[in-house]
Amino acid sequence: MISEQTSTKVEACKDMLRTEEAIFFIKDYFGKKLAAALNLVNVSAPVAVLDGTGINDDLNGVEKPVSFPVKGIRDQKAVIVQSLAKWKRIRLKEYNIEPGKGLLTDMRAIRPSEELSPIHSVYVDQWDWEKRITPSQRNIEYLKQAVMAIYQALRATERALFELHPEYVPVLPENIYFIHAEELLREFPDLTPKQREMEIARIFGAVFIIGIGAALSNGEPHDGRAPDYDDWSSPNEDGYKGLNGDIIVWNPVIERPFELSSMGIRVNEEAMERQLLIQGCTERRNLLFHSMLLNHELPLSIGGGVGQSRVCMFLLRKKHIGEVQSSIWPESVRNNGGGLRLL
Point out the residues that are catalytic.
57, 111, 126, 246, 259, 262
Q: Which of 265, 273, 274 is nearest to 231 (CA)?
A: 265
Beta strands 40-42 and 123-132 are: unpaired
Query: What distance in Å separates the CA atoms of residue 187 and residue 241, rounded to the nearest whole number?
Result: 17
Separation in Å, CA 109 to CA 46, 81, 95, 267: 9, 5, 23, 23
Query: What distance in Å separates the CA atoms of residue 320 and residue 332, rounded to the nearest whole number?
Result: 14
Q: Which of 96, 80, 92 is nearest to 48 (CA)?
A: 80
> φ and ψ at 143, to 5 degrees?
-60, -45
332 residue type, one letter: S
Is 240:180 a contact under the CB 8 Å cutoff?
yes
Query: What distance in Å separates the CA atoms of residue 7 and residue 53, rounded to the nearest whole number?
Result: 54
Is 227:279 a contact under the CB 8 Å cutoff?
yes
Query: What distance in Å separates the CA atoms of residue 181 and residue 220, rounded to the nearest whole number?
Result: 11
